[in-house]
Amino acid sequence: MTAQLLKGRQRAKQLQTELSERFTELAAATGVRPTLAAMQVGGDAAASGYLRAISRACQGVGANFRPVELHEQSSAGDVQAALAELSDDEAVHGIMVLEPLPDHVDDSQLIDRLNPAKDVDGVHPLNAGRLAAQRQPHFVPATPAGAIMLLEEADVAFRGKSAVVIGRSDIVGKPMALLLLHRHCTVTIAHSRTENLPEVARQADILCVAVGRPEMITGEWIKPGAVVVDFGTTYMDGSLKGDCEQGSVEAAAGMLTPVPGGTGPMTNVLLMRNLLDAYRRLVSTPNL
């Protein structure tokens, strides 16, 4: 068996074209291009890379981008004040807080100060709670939203299937589990402390992996014919690796999102969709 590869790059290009047209129509009608602000505290290399990727995504659809880069030694009060300024700024329509944050900055206290109407990452408790309760409006974090889109467009059957999500982060693991639950899967959330983790994984009709450990999952963990979603993105020896060892997993699975080229290309383009939705809600222009 060789898995069908669910590649996101072509779909992401189509979405980017569609969104670019909508941003252009919005600018023509209102004179406004939505603005996304991204705050980085410190110089983490991965966060800096993501900042550049977000800038390119904004440029690709015609949105404005405002990077806010603070020194790692900035006090918690200064970081909170900078976020409050963005939350209150009517010219800013979407806000992201990039991780990691320095140890002296409490991420939960910081996120509580984020305007939930501008929370395009879906991390504010109000948005996370509304997603859990299936109550609109809320923002769905872009990475799991992109994965669900790829699965739906591949006609993956969800209802009644056993789904295992390995990873419990607020922006990937937990929301992915909720999105699967909302589609009538029976969902197990596993993590590094789960006993007999390979055995748990082998029960999954749909296995989603977001642990950040390159090539941790091998074909022996895979139920034959399972759908496998690999969210991993770790650079090793100059190349990007997923959480799955692609060769053996591809040989066992029925479908697989490859790394690179699977869920990754979908993430930033769906972030742009969240930015457009945020603008609409803030200015009450649902038809634009």
- The pLDDT of residue 286 is 47
Phi-psi region at 155: left, alpha or beta (left = phi > 0; alpha = psi -120 to 50): left
> Which segments of the chain have a pLDDT < 70?
1, 284-288
CA nearest neighbour of 7 among 256, 277, 271: 256
CATH 3.40.50.720 domain locations along the chain = 142-263
- The pLDDT of residue 235 is 84
- The pLDDT of residue 238 is 82
Neighbour-count burial of 248, counting CB atoms closer than 10 A to its CB (0-12 exposed, 13-18 middle, 19+ buried): middle
- The pLDDT of residue 1 is 66
Question: What is the pTM for the complete model shown?
Answer: 0.93
Query: Cis peptide leading into 125, omega within 30 of 0?
Result: no
Indicate the CATH number for domain 31-118: 3.40.50.10860
CATH 3.40.50.10860 domain locations along the chain = 31-118
- The pLDDT of residue 193 is 93
DSSP state letters, 134-149: T-SS-PPPHHHHHHHH
The token duo for 228 is 């496998």
d(C-alpha 150, C-alpha 164), whole Å: 17
- The pLDDT of residue 45 is 86
Fold of the domain built from segment(s) 142-263: Rossmann fold (3.40.50)
Distances in Å between the Cα of 199 and the Cα atoms of 2, 159, 190, 222 are: 22, 22, 11, 9
